[in-house]
């Protein structure tokens, strides 16, 4: 039974060995000079101004999370659209329920003012 996994084990050993060899080679051959420019944070070629620890509004993160949630849930519409004819009326009703739940959540978030920018 273990003979069926021999190929996978050999492949895993080769991958780990290659990764270790590349890391060791880069450590031995790489240039490790430390300069002031290398220690500066990279900001598109512009010298950094101010503190890097700028606080963002919680609303920014809330809108970002809501976008991700609704975006991921809308992805479920694509596989449904592909097999829509095979599902028939049952699939249509189930998708209407799914969209209704999404709309209820969207209306709730909108009513709470989470989408308002001040």
Q: Among residues 56, 71, 62, which one has the least CA distance to residue 102?
A: 71
Residue 107: φ, ψ to 5°: -65, -40
Please report, for the chain, the start and end positions of each structural domain, with discontinuous segments joined by +: 2-112
Note the pLDDT tens digit of each residue in 53-83. 777 777 788 888 888 888 888 888 888 888 8
Residues 52, 60 contacting (CB under 8 angstroms): no
Tell me, what's the pLDDT at 80? 86
Residue 93 has pLDDT above 90, yes or no: yes
Choosing among 1.10.1200, 1.20.58, 1.10.10, 1.20.1300, the CATH entry for 2-112 is 1.20.58
Q: Please, which residues have CB within 8 angstroms of residue 40's CB and are 6 or more apart in sequence?
A: 47, 48
**What angle is formed at CA 90 by the lines to CA 87 and CA 91, rounded to 5 degrees?**
50
Residue 73 in 3-state DSSP? Answer: helix
């Amino acid at each position: 039974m273990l003979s069926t996994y021999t190929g996978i084990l050999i492949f895993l050993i080769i991958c780990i060995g290659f990764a270790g060899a590349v890391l060791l080679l880069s450590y031995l051959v790489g240039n490790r000079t430390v300069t002031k420019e290398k220690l500066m944070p990279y900001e598109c070629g512009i010298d950094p101004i101010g503190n890097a620890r700028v606080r963002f509004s919680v609303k920014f993160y809330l809108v970002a999370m809501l976008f991700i949630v609704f975006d991921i849930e809308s992805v479920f519409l694509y596989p449904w659209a592909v097999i829509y004819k095979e599902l028939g009326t049952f699939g249509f009703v189930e998708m209407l329920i799914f969209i209704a739940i999404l709309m209820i959540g969207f209306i709730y978030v909108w009513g709470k003012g989470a989408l308002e920018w001040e």
